[in-house]
C-alpha cells in the first residue's frame, strides 16, 4: 500500500468546536505547556484582542464551499479536437478530480507543504509553535506555519495581508473546514486552487504549461519541481531560472526521502531525469482568431461574459483548423493579387457552409486578423447587388406562375416610388426584349428581376428572405431585387445553402457541441433541419443558377463539376461578390473597402471574385466526390 493510501486510512473525525474550545484544544495538543500558551497569547495581543473578537464573530461559512465552483478556463477546439484557444479571466484553470492527479505530485506537495496533513485536524501545533517563536524573536511576521487547510482558507476567504489576527482566523476556519470536508476533498480543492506561476491556477493547467502533459502523468522528478514552485512560483520557475528550479526540486525530493516516502534509488533517478519543458501559454492568442472570436461572441450571447471567462466550458467548433487556414491563405493571396490589379485598400470576407448541416466550415472576416479584428463575415452589413436576385426568382417559382422557361420582357420601364420616378437600367445600358428567365438570371439582367418582383409582390420577396434567416431591414421598393439592402456574408451564405439543400434549413452555427468541465452537455447542435422552402422552387432556382456558371456572368467560377451560383456587383463598384454552391459546400466571397468607397472602375463579381471562389473551391473539394443537383422534375410543382 502506498504512503498516500496510508494517509487516507489515518483520517480522523473532529467534533465541532467553539472558538473558545479551539483555543483550549491548541493548548492541549501542545501538551498544555506554558510556552505554547505564551506564544498564542502573544499572537492574540499583537493583533489586538478586540480585532480578533470581531474577526471570529464574522467568519465566513465554510459550508458554502459545497456549492463553490472555482473559475475555470474555457477551451475552444476545432471539429477534430485540436485546441484553438483558451479563454479566461485572471485565473487560467482547469479543475481535475484528485484521482486524476499523479500520486507523485500529491506526495511531493504534502512533503513540501504539510507532511502531517493526514494526521492533524486543520492546524499543526508544532509548526505554529515554531513559527510563532521565530516571529516573536523577529518582532514581525516572517513564518506562517500554515497547513494545507490553512493555506486553502486563506486563498478562498482571507486577504493576503500578513498579520497575527489573520493567522488565528485561518486556524479557526481550517478546523471548521475539516469538520465539513474530508481530507481528500480538501487536498483536491487545494491542488486545483493554488497558484503555480505564469497565470496557471490548479495542477492541470500548470502541468500542461510546464511539461506539456496532464497532471495525471507527471513523473516524480516533474512533480518535485512543481511542488517546489508553490512558495514563490515565478522566482522558482524553470522558465525563469532552471538552476534554481532544480535546487528546489532537490529540496523537495530530499524531504520525501527523509520521510521514507521514496527510496534512495527513486531519489537518484528523479534528479537525473531530463526535464522537457513546455511553453508559457497564458493569454496566448488564438491561431484562428476569426473563428474563436465568433465563438466567444456566441458564448457571451448565450451564457454571459462571466461564464465565458470562468465557466470552464469545452467548446467543439464546426471548423477544421487546416481547412480554415487554407481559406485564410487563399484570401491573403488574392488580396495581394487584387492590390496589384489596382483594387487598393480592399478587404475581403469568406464564409463556407455545409448545406446539409448548416455547419460553418470556414469563416474569414478579413485580410489579416492581426491588423483588424473586425469580422466582416459576421458583422459587416454590405449590399449584395445582383447576388440578391435568386431570392426574387425563387419567390416567382414558388408562386406557381413561373418556370425557368417562362419568358420575361427585358424592356424599358419606369416605376413611381413615393414622390419620384425610378428608371431601372441594365449594367450595360442595353435591352434584350423577351428572354427566358434562365437567361435573364444567367446574364444578370436587372429589369427582368424587377418585373418579376413586381409581379409576385415585393413583400413576398421579403417573406422569402425572412424565412431564410436574412433579418436586415428591407423596404418593398422597386430597387429591392437589385440588392439595395445590407446583409452579412454569413446570412447570404446560409440562405444559398438552404437552396442547395432543397429548402431544408437549420440555423447556421459555428459551434457543434458544448460541455461543462465535468462533461455534461450544455449545447448539442446536431442538425435538426426543417423544410422552409418549396422543394421544386428550390431545385428550379438551383437549375437557373447553374446557367450563371455555364453560360453567364459567373463562368470564371467553373470547376469541372455542377455549380449553382450568382455574381454580385453594386452600383459604383463598392461591393463585389460571388456566391456559389455544390451539393456538399456553399461558399460566399465578398470584396469591398471598409470606408465604402469605390474599389475600381468596372470591378465586377464575375471578373474578380469568381476566380477567387474557383481557387478556394478547387482546394476545398479535393477528394470530394462529384455530385449533381436534383432536377426540378423530381419534385412536385407548387400550385
**Confidence class for position 86, pLDDT limits 50, 70, 90:** confident
Cell readout for 327 is: 481559406
CA distance linking residue 288 with residue 363, whole number of Å: 9
**Confidence class for position 639, pLDDT limits 50, 70, 90:** confident
Catalytic residues, by residue number, are 113, 386
Q: Which of 10-14, 43-47, 189-193, 426-430 is least confident? A: 10-14
CA distance linking residue 608 with residue 20, whole number of Å: 84
Is the distance from CB of 424 to CB of 450 less than 8 angstroms? yes
With 70 as the cut, is the pLDDT of residue 575 above it? yes
**Per-domain boundaries in the chain:** 1-68+121-182, 326-634
Classify the phi-psi angles of 87: left when phi > 0, otherwise alpha if psi is within -120 to 50, otherwise beta. beta
- Quickly list DSSP for 277-339: -----TTPPPSSHHHHHHHHHHHHHHH-HHHHHHB--EEEES--HHHHHHHHHHHHHHHHHHH
Burial class (CB in 10 A: 0-12, 13-18, 19+), 602: exposed
Q: Is 425 helix (H, G, I), strand (E, B) or coil?
A: coil
- Backbone φ, ψ for residue 225 (5° rounding): -65, -40
Percent of the chain residues past pLDDT 90, beyond the cut: 58
Amino acid 130: pLDDT: 60
pTM for the model stands at: 0.73
CATH class of 326-634: alpha beta
| H or E element that contains 575 | strand 575-582
Cell readout for 4 is: 498516500
Is the distance from CB of 259 to CB of 206 less than 8 angstroms? no
**Strands in 391-445 per DSSP E:** 407-410, 415-417, 420-422, 433-436
411/53: higher pLDDT: 411
Amino acid 158: pLDDT: 61
Amino acid at each position: 500500500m502506498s504512503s498516500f493510501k496510508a494517509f487516507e486510512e489515518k483520517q480522523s473525525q473532529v467534533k465541532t468546536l467553539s472558538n473558545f474550545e479551539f483555543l483550549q484544544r491548541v493548548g492541549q495538543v501542545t501538551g498544555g505547556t506554558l510556552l505554547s500558551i505564551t506564544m498564542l497569547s502573544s499572537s492574540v495581543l499583537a493583533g489586538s484582542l478586540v480585532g480578533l473578537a470581531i474577526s471570529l464573530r464574522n467568519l465566513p461559512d465554510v459550508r458554502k464551499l459545497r456549492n463553490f465552483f472555482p473559475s475555470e478556463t474555457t477551451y475552444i477546439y476545432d471539429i477534430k479536437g485540436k485546441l484553438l484557444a483558451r479563454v479566461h479571466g485572471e485565473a487560467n484553470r482547469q479543475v481535475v478530480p484528485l484521482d486524476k492527479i499523479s500520486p507523485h505530485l500529491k506526495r511531493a506537495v504534502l512533503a513540501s507543504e504539510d507532511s502531517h496533513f493526514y494526521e492533524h485536524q486543520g492546524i499543526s501545533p508544532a509548526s505554529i509553535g515554531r513559527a510563532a517563536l521565530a516571529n516573536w524573536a523577529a518582532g514581525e511576521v516572517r513564518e506562517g506555519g500554515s497547513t494545507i487547510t490553512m493555506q486553502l482558507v486563506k486563498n478562498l476567504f482571507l486577504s493576503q495581508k500578513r498579520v497575527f489576527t489573520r493567522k488565528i482566523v485561518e486556524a479557526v476556519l481550517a478546523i471548521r473546514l475539516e469538520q465539513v470536508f474530508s481530507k481528500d476533498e480538501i487536498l483536491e480543492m487545494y491542488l486545483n486552487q493554488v497558484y503555480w506561476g505564469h497565470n496557471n491556477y490548479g495542477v492541470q493547467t500548470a502541468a500542461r504549461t510546464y511539461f506539456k502533459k496532464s497532471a495525471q502523468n507527471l513523473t516524480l522528478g516533474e512533480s518535485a519541481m512543481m511542488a517546489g514552485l508553490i512558495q514563490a512560483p515565478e522566482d522558482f520557475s524553470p522558465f525563469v531560472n532552471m538552476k534554481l528550479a532544480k535546487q528546489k526540486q532537490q529540496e523537495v525530493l530530499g524531504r520525501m526521502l527523509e520521510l521514507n516516502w521514496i527510496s534512495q534509488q527513486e531519489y537518484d533517478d528523479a534528479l537525473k531525469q531530463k526535464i522537457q519543458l513546455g511553453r508559457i501559454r497564458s493569454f496566448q492568442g488564438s491561431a484562428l482568431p476569426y473563428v474563436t472570436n465568433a465563438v466567444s461572441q456566441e458564448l457571451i450571447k448565450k451564457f454571459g461574459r462571466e461564464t465565458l471567462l470562468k465557466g470552464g466550458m469545452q467548446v467543439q467548433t464546426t471548423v477544421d483548423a487546416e481547412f480554415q487556414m487554407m481559406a485564410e491563405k487563399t484570401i491573403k493571396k488574392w488580396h495581394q493579387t487584387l492590390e496589384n490589379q489596382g483594387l487598393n485598400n480592399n478587404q475581403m470576407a469568406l464564409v463556407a457552409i455545409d448545406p446539409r448541416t448548416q455547419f460553418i466550415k470556414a469563416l474569414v472576416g478579413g485580410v489579416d486578423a492581426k491588423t483588424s479584428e473586425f469580422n466582416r463575415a459576421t458583422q459587416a452589413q454590405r449590399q449584395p447587388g445582383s447576388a440578391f436576385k435568386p431570392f426574387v426568382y425563387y419567390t416567382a417559382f414558388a408562386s406557381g406562375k413561373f418556370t425557368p422557361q417562362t419568358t420575361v420582357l427585358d424592356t424599358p420601364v419606369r416605376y413611381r416610388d413615393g414622390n419620384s420616378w425610378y428608371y431601372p437600367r441594365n449594367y450595360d445600358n442595353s435591352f434584350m426584349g423577351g428572354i427566358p428567365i434562365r437567361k435573364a438570371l444567367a446574364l444578370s439582367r436587372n429589369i427582368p428581376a424587377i418585373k418579376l418582383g413586381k409581379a409576385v409582390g415585393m413583400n413576398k420577396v421579403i417573406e422569402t428572405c425572412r424565412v431564410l434567416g436574412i433579418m436586415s431591414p428591407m423596404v418593398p421598393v422597386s430597387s429591392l431585387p437589385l440588392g439595395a439592402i445590407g446583409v452579412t456574408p454569413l446570412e447570404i451564405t446560409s440562405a444559398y445553402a438552404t437552396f442547395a439543400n432543397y429548402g431544408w434549413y437549420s440555423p447556421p452555427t459555428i459551434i457543434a457541441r458544448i460541455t461543462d468541465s465535468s462533461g455534461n452537455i450544455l449545447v448539442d447542435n446536431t442538425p435538426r433541419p426543417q423544410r422552409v422552402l418549396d422543394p421544386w422552387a428550390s431545385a428550379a432556382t438551383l437549375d437557373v443558377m447553374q446557367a450563371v456558371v455555364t453560360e453567364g456572368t459567373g463562368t470564371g467560377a467553373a470547376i469541372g463539376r455542377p455549380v449553382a451560383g450568382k455574381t454580385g456587383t453594386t452600383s459604383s463598384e463598392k461591393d463585389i461578390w460571388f456566391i456559389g454552391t455544390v451539393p456538399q459546400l456553399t461558399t460566399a466571397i465578398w470584396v469591398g473597402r471598409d470606408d465604402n468607397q469605390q474599389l475600381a472602375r468596372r470591378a465586377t463579381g464575375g471578373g474578380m471574385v469568381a476566380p477567387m471562389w474557383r481557387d478556394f473551391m478547387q482546394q476545398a473539394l479535393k477528394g470530394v466526390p462529384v455530385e449533381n443537383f436534383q432536377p426540378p422534375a423530381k419534385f412536385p410543382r407548387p400550385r
